[in-house]
Amino acid sequence: MKKKKSELAKLWGLKPQGSKLQGSELQGPILILGANGQVGRCLRRALEARGLNKQVWFSSRKQPSSAREIELELANPASIEACIRKFTKEAGQGKGTVILSGAFTHVDACEEDQQKCRQVNFEATKTVTDLCTELGHHFVFYSSEYVYGGAEYEDPSIVGPFKESDPVAPCSAYAQAKVDSESYILENSVLEKTKALSATIIRTTVIFSWDSRDKNFAMQLYRYLANRLSGKNYPGVPDRFRIPTDQVSSPTYAPILAEATLELAARKAPGIYHLTGSDSVARSEFAKQLIRVFGFSQADAEAELEFVATKDLHQTARRPLTAGLNTDKAKAEGVPIWSLEEAYAEWKPPE
């Protein structure tokens, strides 16, 4: 079923763009694996806004509190299998869509505990892939800009924004797990009956949203500055905030990433897509823009921050430097891609 372009434009907060908006609607049951993370929560809200609650199941490490929630531990293949089989049985509407938004996302911690990283970020993907292929569900997986993280270290002329077809160059345990997951999915998600690839791989980066409880970069910055400059008392805020000047990326507004994900999932778009915001900016520049959006005094806020080179951060895992992702493929297919200013227009200070 297709949504009207005007309806969809409203949902995406976009002006209708002629024939570019597709507005495909998801058919069949949907399972979100790892539903309590930043992206998982946005997917949940986007599905609710589309009125699809009755066909959605959620899974997370939390104790289930409703009939549509299933407990899940991604480090345990038996738990993944039990979760997907339970969903398949309960949904009972045939083939569906499984979206894996759960992952071990702390890249430095992944470097420190590579075994756990491998288990949660690669072995779990393999288990989900095999079950989706066996049961005929379409699989949607999130990968990362970090798959290109090593490129510039190997050859300084290789910089982003990267296209889907550019060769990967992982340089951390987290990135390697994403690259290996991508390869496994591409090789093993071909349905026996149709011989079609039934998987969508979404590479994204620097995801942010406006939930002040969230741990994304924008909200960490907000909480830090609110404590320093507005006498707020957000807990767990560090005493210094250091921001790299040489990491260029394309920050991605989580609610639009969720909308774009559902659009690709509805079309069962096969293969790899880059879904990020349309602007490539250095992290320091992103921070300066956020200060303006939050309404803090630019000079006072910048004085509270330390702008440094990535090498001076001494992070355990290597970070991509001049990176960012090229989203032309998704844009050409009418999938929503927002600029930072469009995302900033939605900022509302927390009560």
Ligand X SMILES: NC(=O)c1ccc[n+]([C@@H]2O[C@H](COP(=O)([O-])OP(=O)(O)OC[C@H]3O[C@@H](n4cnc5c(N)ncnc54)[C@H](OP(=O)(O)O)[C@@H]3O)[C@@H](O)[C@H]2O)c1
Tell me, residue by residue from 123 to 162, as one string, x for binding to ligand X by CB under 6 A and - for no binding: -------------------x-x------------------
- Going residue by residue from 89 to 108, which x/- string records binding to ligand X, judged by CB under 6 A? ------------xxxxx---
CB of 75 to ligand X, least distance (A): 4
Q: Which of 134, 139, 265 has the alpha carbon at shortest distance from 192?
A: 134
What single-letter DSSP state applies at residue 4? P
CB of residue 41 vs ligand X: minimum separation in angstroms?
Answer: 8
Copy the structure tokens of residue 301: 């806020």
Signed CA dihedral, 279, 163, 119, 134: sign only = positive
Task: Report the C-alpha gap between 134 and 141 in whole angstroms.
Answer: 17
Residue 277 makes contact with ligand X by CB under 6 A: no
The interface mask with ligand X, positions 189-208, x = CB under 6 A, is ---------------xxxx-
Q: CA dihedral in degrees (315, 317, 318, 320; nearest 10)?
A: -100
For residue 201 the two structure tokens come to: 């791989």
Q: Which is nearer to ligand X, 8 or 80 (CB)?
A: 80
Taken in order 124, 128, 129, 131, the sign of the CA dihedral is positive
Judged by DSSP in three states, 337 sits in coil
Establish if 262 lies at the interface with ligand X (CB under 6 A).
Answer: no
Nearest-Å Rg of the Cα atoms of the chain is: 20
Q: Which stretch binds ligand X (CB under 6 A): 16-24, 47-55, 67-75, 291-299?
A: 67-75
Measured from the CB of residue 319, what is the shortest distance to ligand X in angstroms?
Answer: 12
How many residues of this chain interact with ligand X, rule: CB under 6 A? Answer: 24
Query: Binding segment for ligand X among 35-43, 156-164, 238-246, 266-274 (CB under 6 A)?
Result: 35-43
With beta carbons less than 8 A apart as the criterion, state whether 153 and 170 touch. Answer: no
In sequence order, which residues have a C-beta less than 8 Å from that of residue 116 and are 6 or more positions away? 75, 104, 110
Determine, following the binding rule CB under 6 A, whether residue 324 of this chain makes contact with ligand X: no
CA 28, 29, 34: angle at the middle one, nearest 5?
145
The least CB distance from residue 81 to ligand X, in Å, is 14
Residue 36 binds ligand X (CB under 6 A): yes
Residue nearest ligand X, CB atom distance: 37
* Piece of the chain touching ligand X by CB under 6 A; list 38-46, 258-266, 302-310, 318-326: 38-46
Comparing CB distances to ligand X, the nearer of 180 and 304 is 180
Q: Which residues contact 175 (CB under 8 A, 6 or more apart)?
A: 107, 144, 146, 147, 149, 150
Positions touching ligand X (CB under 6 A) are: 34, 36-40, 60-61, 72-75, 101-105, 120, 142, 144, 204-207
